Amino acid sequence: MKNIAKGITRNHAPHIIIVGGTSGIGLALALHHEMLGWQVSVIGSNEAKIADINNQHPTIVTYVCDLTDVIQTQSLLDELSATSFQRLVYSAGSYTNERVHHLNQADSDKMLAINLQAFEQVFRWASSQLKQQYQSLDASKGDRPSLVCIASIAGTIDYPYASLYAKSKRAMIATASAYRAALIPYDIQVNCIASGYINTQALRDLNDGDASHKPFIMSTQAAVDHIMQAIDDEVELAIFPRSMRYITSVLNHLPKPVLNWILRSKLDKAK
């Protein structure tokens, strides 16, 4: 773990930390907050992506950290404890298509570590930090402290044969809900985002360079707009796009045997 570059500090600007902020929706949110005048810090594991951000957006503070390494992650969090912030977004994620590939040990460990274990480690730290800071924050300036996590619409379906990815995202949704309830006395907002397909480079890479065939796929800008609106409206669990929200709602109201048959026959890899 190391701090690659220190951006220009804007003392009076609110500060956002984005874990997994060097690509995809995390980077899009970082750039959006920078445009709004926020001080932005991003954490990622890819040094090449960090270098690109340093070159193109020198005011963004960047950190390299392997979230699968508990000790390295804690060292970074300890370093960040000296800095106040008003918003933290956990946008890191790991995905393996279990309908195509049987999980090996490395992929299984990585998905569990990043999608659930590191998320819990970061949220535990961030909530503790914000509880210590909340009395000194000026909510009248619109800087109400908040924690945001990027889950997946896959985690909204109660499905016993779901993949490790979907189960970890479902656990993330439940954990965020618990934090939301626990942090009400501190006036700390918690939002969980469960989106459908977003046209990111990572999704395109998983689909031979073109993800346009994915149902109801949206642009990163559209996703950012939905996320920012959910934060502004204090939505506990934001599920979008609307069409996917309706579909998952219908699926969750089906009798469990019917739901299990549909999803197992349509989504699972061959047994």
pLDDT band at 203 (very low <50, low <70, confident <90, very high): low
Q: What is the pLDDT of residue 219?
A: 83
Greatest distance between any 2 Cα atoms in the chain: 57
pLDDT tens for 205-258 read 666 565 556 655 778 888 999 999 999 999 999 998 666 666 676 666 667 666
Q: What is the CATH number of the domain that holds 224?
A: 3.40.50.720
pLDDT band at 168 (very low <50, low <70, confident <90, very high): very high
Work out the average pLDDT over 30-39. 96
| Residue in the block written with tokens 């995905």 | 95
Residue 42, beta-bridge partner list:
18, 62
pLDDT tens for 103-137 read 889 999 999 999 999 999 999 999 999 999 876 65
Task: Respond yes or no on whether the N-terminal peptide bond of residue 241 is cis (omega within 30° of 0).
Answer: yes
140 burial type by CB count under 10 A (0-12 exposed, 13-18 middle, 19+ buried): exposed
* Separation of alpha carbons 215 and 262, rounded Å: 17
pLDDT band at 268 (very low <50, low <70, confident <90, very high): very low
pLDDT tens for 4-30 read 444 444 557 899 999 999 999 999 999
Query: What 8-state DSSP symbol labels residue 126?
Result: H
Q: What is the pLDDT of residue 261?
A: 64
Whether residue 42 has pLDDT greater than 50? yes
Count structural domains, the chain. Answer: 1
pLDDT band at 269 (very low <50, low <70, confident <90, very high): very low
**Domain encompassing residue 106:** 2-267
Whether residue 138 has pLDDT greater than 60? no
* Phi then psi dihedrals of residue 181, to 5 deg: -65, -40
State whether the Cα torsion 11-86-79-55 is positive or negative.
negative
Going along the chain, which residue ranges are E strands? 2-5, 15-19, 39-44, 61-64, 87-90, 146-150, 189-195, 237-240
Q: What is the pLDDT of residue 51?
A: 96
Q: What is the pLDDT of residue 2?
A: 46
- 165 or 146: whose pLDDT is higher? 146
